[in-house]
């Protein structure tokens, strides 16, 4: 009976440690992503505040970050990153949405018909998305809700 009790305590301790380690790792990863996204904004002269980033998993190359730009003119922000407005009837973009390449729900968006969408169309080799540590974002997408004046960027790190 005593052995079962000790075994139960060990199992519970392992589970608690696992969840604590996972939480700490996601917190650390979110802070690294936030630092990289903030760097890209600063580098391209886009002043932001309240930058909050999340990632779907520890193994993900992507993240979503909500932010408030000091200049809320989406055309100016998109121009600094050589972004193009995505037409909602764009079949390639619809396929990417369907298969989860982009996730508007991670930005709190349930209906994309109510938001403007901008895509970087910039390859990682270009300077706009290069990070100071030698890595780069492969691409960047901004969801902008003009009614709420809310901005959310989704990025994907480039391989290599």
pLDDT tens profile 1-26: 688 788 878 878 788 877 776 666 56
pLDDT at 19: 74
Cβ neighbours around 56 below 10 Å, total: 13
Average pLDDT estimate for 76-89: 84
Would you list the domain boundaries of the chain?
2-157
pLDDT tens profile 144-158: 988 888 899 988 887
pLDDT at 93 over 80: no
d(CA 80, CA 44) in angstroms, rounded, equals 6
pTM of the predicted structure, to 2 decimals: 0.75
d(CA 108, CA 111) in angstroms, rounded, equals 9
Q: Residue 99: which residues within 8 A CB-CB, separation 6 or more?
A: none
pLDDT at 98 over 60: no
Tokens linked to 109 = 């968006």
């Amino acid at each position: 009976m005593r052995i079962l009790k000790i075994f139960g305590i060990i199992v519970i301790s392992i589970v608690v440690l696992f969840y604590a380690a996972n939480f700490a790792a996601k917190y650390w990863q979110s802070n690294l992503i936030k630092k990289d996204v903030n760097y890209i904004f600063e580098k391209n002269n886009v002043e932001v505040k309240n930058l909050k980033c999340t990632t779907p998993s520890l193994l993900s190359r992507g993240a979503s970050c909500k932010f408030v730009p000091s200049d809320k003119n989406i055309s100016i922000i998109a121009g600094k990153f050589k972004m193009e407005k995505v037409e909602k009837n764009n079949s390639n973009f619809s396929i990417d949405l369907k298969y989860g390449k982009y996730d508007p729900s991670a930005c709190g968006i349930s209906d994309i018909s109510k938001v403007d969408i901008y895509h970087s169309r910039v390859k990682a080799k270009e300077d706009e998305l290069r990070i100071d540590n030698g890595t780069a974002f492969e691409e960047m997408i901004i969801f902008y809700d003009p009614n709420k004046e809310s901005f959310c960027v989704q990025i994907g790190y480039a391989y290599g």
